[in-house]
Amino acid sequence: MRRAWFPVTFLLLYMTQNLQAQRATEYQVKAAFILNFSKFVEWPGDAFARQSDIFILGVLGKDPFGDYLDEIVEGEKIEGKKLIIQRYNSVDDIHDCQILFINVPEETGAVIKRLKGRSILTVSDDADFSRAGGIIQFYKQDDAIRLQINPDAAKEANLTLSSKLLRIAKIDESDIPDE
């Protein structure tokens, strides 16, 4: 059993260390993680109802990634669909989106409530994100970027998270250090 997930865990850890070794910024590392989340999540078929030929990675609020997110997704495909980046100023602008990085700290809880029932993998580095009902929260510990996952929120969004992803994350929200 250990062999099945070891290569994935090693790859994610290696990627993080390799990026950090190249003096990558925190958000370059997070962008690489976000792109790779798509390989460990299953979306229901109706998540692509409107535009079946594209996969949308969205950023809501201030974009901390700069051009880096655009650079790493250039030419990428997910599930045979062209990957595009969409930036949103308001939750009302989000129609079709599969992965959404949320960067509106004052409004996180309200945004999560507005997205309930939609098959969107929500991601943020807001300190209370998973407690507010977000699916994947980034946090820093020992100068490394870690993951906190709320599997109940993923289930509510009708998303299936790979056990490989769950194994490298903390599930218990009480384990997240306050920033």
CATH at 51: 3.40.50
| Residue in the block written with tokens 């807001």 | 126
**175 located within any domain:** no
> Would residue 127 count as lying in a domain?
yes
pLDDT tens profile 18-71: 544 445 689 999 999 999 999 999 988 776 666 578 899 999 999 999 899 999
Those residues with Cβ within 8 angstroms of residue 17's Cβ, 6 or more apart along the chain or in another chain? none
Q: In terms of Cα–Cα distance, which of 129, 101, 109, 112 is closest to 33?
A: 101
Domain assignment present for 70:
yes
Q: Which amino acid is at 29?
A: V
Q: Which two tokens stand for residue 72?
A: 């790493």
User: Whose CA is closest to 73, among 65, 63, 86, 83?
Assistant: 83
Q: How far apart are CA 136 and CA 150, in angstroms?
A: 7
Number of domains in the chain: 1
178 located within any domain: no
Mean pLDDT to the nearest integer, 4-16: 51
HEC string of the chain equals CHHHHHHHHHHHHHHHHHHHHCCCCHHHHHHHHHHHHHHHEECCHHHHCCCCCEEEEEEEECCCCCCHHHHHHCCCEECCEEEEEEEECCHHHCCCCCEEEEECHHHHHHHHHHHCCCCCEEEECCCCCCCCCCCEEEEEECCEEEEEECHHHHHHCCCEECHHHHHCCECCHHHCCCC
Whether residue 143 is contained in a domain is answered as yes
pLDDT at 108: 92
Q: Is residue 179 part of a domain?
A: no
Between CA 179 and CA 13 the distance in angstroms is 22
% of the chain beyond a pLDDT of 70: 79
Host domain of residue 44: 2-170
Q: How confident is the model at residue 6 (pLDDT cuts 50, 70, 90)?
A: very low
- Residue at 159 is within a domain: yes
Residues in contact with 49: Cβ distance below 8 Å, sequence separation at least 6, in sequence order: 96
Evaluate whether 33 touches 27 at the Cβ level (below 8 Å).
no
On whether residue 177 sits in a domain, the answer given is no
Q: What is the mean pLDDT of the segment spanning 77-103?
A: 93
